[in-house]
Structure 1
Amino acid sequence: MKFKAIQAAMMLVLFFISSCAVTAQNQKKDKEGFVKLFDGKTLKGWEGDPTYWRIEDGNLVGEITPSTLLKTNSFIVWQGGQPADFELKVDCRITAAGNSGINYRSERLPDVPYALRGYQADIDGRNRYTGQNYEERGRTTLAYRGQKVVVNSADAPGPLQASIKSNAWTKTDVTSTLGAAEELQSKIKSEDWNEIHLVVKGNRLQHYVNGVLMSDVTDNDAANRKMSGMLGVQVHVGPPMKVEYRNMRLKQL
């Protein structure tokens, strides 16, 4: 009887702990089901080169200075999982000379520190590329801003470079336009906060900026696409720059 009483008590404790964990997890979600990805105080839960990444005024900051110029693009990577289908919302501000991006469904490169290969929501200070879909270290540009695109497989197995021209994947069909280039660019604020919203479900990848759809990709290239992977943000090779991210939230679909 004593053993059964102890066993029952242990089960009750385990149930209580489990219930508390579920409750705590639910409390982290906002009313739309999004969970914050950083605490605004530390880099806990992220891995990157501290030379370039820090928390400042509650924001995740990536900065290149004249004394820390890069030879390869460098990422800070979220350690909380490898999302498959999800929505991501984040505010971003970048200096005029800056070049950054949000990588998703990505993988590490074992021979290059802090590098990722995979889909990227492009961001740059002059807003030439912001919102487009670029595959870092892969098939390069999949959709320019303003394009709705179907991505197709290469005609034959072989190196990716054979199907890339002018830094863009050539095996695509542009099925429609999302708006005039100048009109879409006018929706993006320079050197100010813009909201980036990614909707990634199945093989469809949509990039929104300030509520406006900027690129829409359906990736039918089964040999090269990724259906899940790492999430990270980038500082790009180039001149001194600063990029800031705040209010980063993720909702798994």
Structure 2
Amino acid sequence: MIANFSQYGIKKLFLPITSVVLLVFGSCKDKAQEKPTEAMVEEVGTADGFESIFDGSTLNNWDGDPTYWRVENGSLIGEITPETLLDANTFIIWQGGEPSDFELKLEFRISENGNSGINYRSELLDTIPFALRGYQADIDGKHRYTGQNYEERKRTTLAYRGEKAEISTQENASEPESLRNNVQRNAWQSRKVLESLGHMDSLKTKINNDWNEAHLVVKGNTMQHFINGILMSEVIDNDSVNRNASGKLGMQVHVGPPMKVEYRNISLKQ
């Protein structure tokens, strides 16, 4: 208020005490009105554009085999028991659309013998129930593969953990036989490592044996997989024959020994 005295004249310095009190009260009242309302706070909370796609209590808007998928304690759980061993990988699939460019954030926890992954831009097979074919952010309990980009039922490994890789077009590589011929040691051969994002084993130390955060950033032909805020792999897919620009989103339980994987706080930004 002192800074404003000159514009009102020196006589304002001699206002009665009651007037001064009223002025101060009015100023405080104005500042109080500047505080964000509840609606304003809520708007700030959703300003990042992410929307929850899992309500934490039901399988609404998700489709999968209930033998292997359930909701418990706020988590989406995939589990194989000794009595329910799999013949083929099975997925629970989001029914809310087929995202193209998007970001996905979630938390996951997996048992030591677990094998899972987050599929995106994927196709639904009509020959196997609840089976997807497409890009996958790999997740496993021993963290040998967690963070890499593996294309389920197609080109196999596109980028190992710690790699930024570019995929080129392989002529006639869309046919099943050609696909198989272009895979060696479970990795696609028409790929070039552009740079290192860190040593595979060093990056492994950033992955916890409890809850971890996964963040997928998928835009155009570039796919980035982050775990706990660290870029684990990046693929630039220039393979115009085999790449997908959009597709289904789902989580996997893999053929193998009994295992359990949990997902929670699943949110999507398109």
* TM-score, scaled to structure 2: 0.82
> Which residues in structure 2 correspond to 1:5-154 (within 5 Å)?
30-154=46-170
Q: 2:195 aligns with which of 140, 157, 176?
A: 176
Q: Distance in 2 between matches of 1:141 and 1:171?
A: 11
Identity %: 61
Q: Give the secondary-structure state (helix, strand or coil) at the position aligned to 2:193.
A: strand
Q: 1:137-196 deviations in whole A, cap 9, x for unaligned?
A: 000000000000000111445421111111110000001000122210000011x00000
Q: Distance in 2 between matches of 1:215 and 1:121?
A: 9
Hey, what does 2:20 align to over in structure 1? Answer: none
Q: Distance in 2 between matches of 1:152 and 1:65?
A: 40
Aligned residues: 226
Hey, what does 2:248 align to over in structure 1? Answer: 230
RMSD: 1.4
Q: Distance in 1 between matches of 2:249 and 2:268?
A: 10
Q: 1:36-79 deviations in whole A, cap 9, x for unaligned?
A: 01111100000000000000001000000000000000000000
Structure 1 position 208 matched with structure 2 position 250: no
Q: Report the residue type matching 2:156 in the other structure.
A: T
Q: Give the secondary-structure state (helix, strand or coil) at the position aligned to 2:107.
A: strand
Q: Report the residue type matching 1:170 in the other structure.
A: Q
* Superposed structure 1 runs of 4+ greater than 2 Å apart: 155-159
Q: Report the residue type matching 2:192 in the other structure.
A: D
Q: 1:216-248 deviations in whole A, cap 9, x for unaligned?
A: 000000100000000000000000000000000
Structure 1 position 165 matched with structure 2 position 165: no
Q: Distance in 2 between matches of 1:38 and 1:89?
A: 11
Hey, what does 2:216 align to over in structure 1? Answer: 198
Q: Give how far 1:127 is off.
A: 0.2
Q: Distance in 2 between matches of 1:218 and 1:100?
A: 23
Q: 1:12-54 deviations in whole A, cap 9, x for unaligned?
A: xxxxxxxxxxxxxx97x82311010111110000000000000
Unaligned runs of 5+ in 1: 1-25
* TM-score, scaled to structure 1: 0.87
